[in-house]
């Protein structure tokens, strides 16, 4: 029994049943398929999270965000600046308790270098309704190269707990047709 010592002294030499061996072979091959699927998607798939990351400080990052706002603000929404960066630009978005800043207006089909960082705690960038989720750390500038492919209004929900106002932390990204 499984709660007593093996009844055969040399249990390693006991032959295994064929059905068990077939199952092991199948499970092993399936593991390889899943492993190489991730690598295959890196080569051919369109959705891979960038690893481009830099060390930064809250002050240095905030200065870049403010420069964005000064250069590209087009209007205001609920007291927050809305910026419309040119295609291909480095766009700096920050999370802080409890705000995503600024509001972005992007063009459909254009590619942007979207920077994410936090000024205080960790936050969770959760873009709805398409459900893209990325962790945002203070002190690290994470650069995603994104190409919004459908126009519409998108909401950034914070999905990492960041204090008592966490559930009020929303931001907006508008994707407009060219």
Q: Which of residues 64-83 bind another protein (CB under 8 A)?
A: 78-80
Residues 108-167 close enough to bind another protein by CB under 8 A: 116, 120-122, 124, 126-135, 137-142, 144-150, 155, 157-164, 166-167
> Strand 103-107 and strand 112-118: pairing?
unpaired
How far is residue 53's CA from residue 66's CA, in Å, rounded to a whole number?
Answer: 20
Q: Which of 120, 105, 112, 149 has its CA nearest to residue 57?
A: 120
User: Judged by CB under 8 A, which stretch of 41-49, 67-75, 81-89 contacts another protein?
Assistant: 41-49
* Beta carbon nearer to another protein, 61 or 72: 61
Binds another protein by CB under 8 A, chosen from 30, 71, 74, 152: 30
Cβ count near 138 (within 10 Å)? 18
- Find the part of the chain contacting another protein (CB under 8 A) among 47-55, 67-75, 81-89: 47-55
Burial label, 42 (beta-carbon count in 10 A; 0-12, 13-18, 19+): exposed
Name the one residue in this structure whose structure tokens are 């798939």: 45
Binding residue for another protein, selected from 27, 43, 177, 178, defined by CB under 8 A:
27
């Amino acid at each position: 029994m499984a709660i007593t010592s093996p009844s055969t002294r040399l249990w390693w030499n006991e032959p295994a049943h064929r059905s068990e061996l077939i199952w092991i072979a199948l499970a092993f091959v399936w593991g390889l398929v899943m492993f190489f699927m991730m690598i295959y998607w890196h080569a051919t798939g369109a959705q891979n999270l960038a690893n481009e990351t830099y060390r930064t400080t809250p002050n240095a990052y905030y200065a870049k965000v403010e420069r964005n706002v000064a250069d590209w603000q087009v209007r205001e929404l609920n007291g927050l600046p809305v910026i419309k960066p040119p295609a291909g630009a480095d766009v700096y978005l920050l999370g802080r308790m409890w705000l995503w800043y600024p509001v972005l207006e992007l063009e459909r089909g254009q590619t942007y270098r979207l920077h994410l960082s936090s000024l205080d705690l960790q936050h969770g960038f959760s873009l709805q309704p398409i459900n893209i989720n990325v962790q945002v750390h203070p002190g690290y500038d994470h650069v995603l190269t994104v190409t919004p492919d459908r126009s519409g209004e998108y909401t950034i929900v914070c999905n990492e707990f960041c204090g008592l106002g966490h559930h009020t932390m929303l931001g907006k990204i508008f994707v407009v047709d060219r």
